[in-house]
Amino acid sequence: MIDSVVCEERTKNLTRLLAELNTQKVLGGIVEVGVWRGGTLHHMASQEKVRTIRGFDTFTGIPQQDKANDFHGVGDFSNTSYEQVVKDLAKFPNVTVHQGWFPKDFFQTYDRDQYVALAHIDVDVYNSVLDCFHYLYPSIPFGGYVVFDDYGAPTCPGAMLAVHEILAEFPKELIIESIVRCQLVLKRINPEKAFPS
């Protein structure tokens, strides 16, 4: 069993969201930032066999901290291994795992002009949540989801603050689709294309 700190309630919600994307025929792949040991990537890959699934992580722990808003410090969650995660997910041909600081280390390798039907942001700290969201958001199509893990977690007040700022910034483009224990899902309702065709 691959390690995950994401509870069953949250993984069931991810399963539901993946099914909804297929029912609604929303275009795009899946991106997860904050892979740790690959538990949620493995779960999503076991449910979704067609869409591309890409995971991004430093695999050296949390890379930055806003001391005013974050409890987790630099290096937390470093008890993982890029090589082991790649090995554990090798049986899923639609999954690719990338090592580095998202997004700055992936400007050359990450094709931003592909739709992202579901972005799973599990990075725990304020600045990282904002950085990941603002980089991925232009690729989220109408009907796509952004999933924020750690929303409301006592150890992640910065993550919750970042989500509130995002909601204030995009009040006409995003709605709260669901909230389960320490997980908030936003759905893009603005029908404009995410980027020029």
Residue 193 lies in a domain: no
Task: Using the structure block, give the residue that is written with the tokens 């936003």.
Answer: 186
Residue 61 lies in a domain: yes
In 3D space, the residue among 17, 44, 20 whose CA is nearest the CA of residue 147 turns out to be 17
Q: Any idea what the CATH number is for the domain that residue 170 is in?
A: 3.40.50.150
Confidence at residue 3, expressed as pLDDT on a 0 to 100 scale: 45
Residue 83 lies in a domain: yes
pLDDT digits (tens, 9 = 90+) for 143-179: 999 999 989 888 878 889 999 999 999 999 999 999 9
Q: For residues 106 and 175, what is the distance between their CA atoms, to the nearest angstrom?
A: 28
Q: Is 20 helix (H, G, I), strand (E, B) or coil?
A: helix
Residue 2 lies in a domain: no
* Number of independent structural domains in the chain: 1
In 3D space, the residue among 61, 70, 58 whose CA is nearest the CA of residue 126 turns out to be 70
Crossing angle of the two packed helices 8-24 and 39-47, in degrees rounded to 10: 40
10 Å Cβ neighbour count for 163? 23
Residue 1 lies in a domain: no
pLDDT digits (tens, 9 = 90+) for 62-95: 666 556 565 555 545 555 688 999 999 999 999 9
> Domain range for residue 169?
8-188
Residue 196 lies in a domain: no
Residue 27 lies in a domain: yes
pLDDT at 5 over 60: no
Residue 153 lies in a domain: yes
10 Å Cβ neighbour count for 185? 22
